Chains A and B, each alone.
Chain A
Amino acid sequence: MSALTWTLVLVSQLALVAGQIYLKRAMSRREHNVPGWQGQMALGIATMTIWFLLWLGAMARVDLSQLMPMEGISPLLIVIGAMLFLRERLDWRGWSGVALTCVGVVLVSLSGHGN
């Protein structure tokens, strides 16, 4: 992957994390009748659109199996983002589960073609 593709993937992953945090805040606010959820939803959809287009551009450049390890880190980024911005907490089982799934995603992606 070229430096440009790396940057594209990194920015798209950051957009994904921000977009999901905005969407979660919008749905939490809506559920608890807190005003202003529409703005959060709009921000979430806008950020997710940026993620989607950048991801599609990356997909056109590299094989899905090569992109998978990049996607493998996104649950970890989301859990960290949710801790920082939504004050969510995971117990040791949750953290172990996140770690195992990330390892699994990397294993799947390492298998590449012909393995």
Chain B
Amino acid sequence: MHDSAPTLLTPKPARGFFWNPYFQILLTVLLTAAAQILLKIGADSSRGDTSVGAWLGFNELRDWWTWAGIIAFCSSLGSWLYALRFLPLGLAFSLTNGVHIFVPVGSWLFLHEHLGPLRIAGITVIILGILLLAQSVAQAEEKV
């Protein structure tokens, strides 16, 4: 599976804020968080269903929340593929950890899940991790 194509920011993205690959990563994160919450609502519709169809995820397709989640996921794939054109996979994927900030916050807002001190501490640690990754990105770009 080795690939000889260089992966570090060799091609230049189009000008403008929207086409910035890091903005596209943020868009990926927001769409993925929305998709996770929508899919959770959809998946809950088959809770208690012990058939093989529910195990493999097919029975959940009867619920329209699942489809809303699928649409959000497909949209996130568009911005993700765009970002992959310009950013190394390991770094880009690590930055998508931001989804673990938005999923608990979104679950608190829309699914009325509790947001306790441990969860807030976790979110803070994730933010610190993303800041370190951002510094790593900044240094990698300086070298290019």
A interface residues with partner B (beta carbon < 8 Å) = 8, 20-21, 23-25, 27-32, 34, 52-57, 59-61, 64-65, 68, 71-72, 74-75, 78-79, 81-83, 85-88, 90-91, 93-94, 96-111, 113-115
Number of interface residues of B (CB under 8 A): 67
A56 touches B136 (CB 8 A): no
Q: Which of A61, A65, A96, A100 contacts B126 (CB 8 A)?
A: A100
Beyond A90-B90, A94-B136, A101-B129, 12 extra complex contacts between A and B, CB < 8 Å: A27-B81, A60-B44, A60-B46, A61-B55, A85-B3, A86-B88, A90-B91, A91-B136, A93-B133, A100-B132, A104-B127, A105-B97
Is B130 an interface residue, CB under 8 A from the partner?
Answer: yes
B136 touches A108 (CB 8 A): no
Nearest chain B CB to A24 CB, angstrom units? 4
B122 touches A105 (CB 8 A): yes
Residues of the B chain whose Cβ atoms lie less than 8 Å from the Cβ of A27: 81, 84-85
Interface residues of B in 57-102 (CB under 8 A from A): 57-60, 66, 73, 80-81, 84-86, 88-91, 93-94, 96-97, 100
Give the CA-CA distance A82 to B89 in the complex, in Å: 6
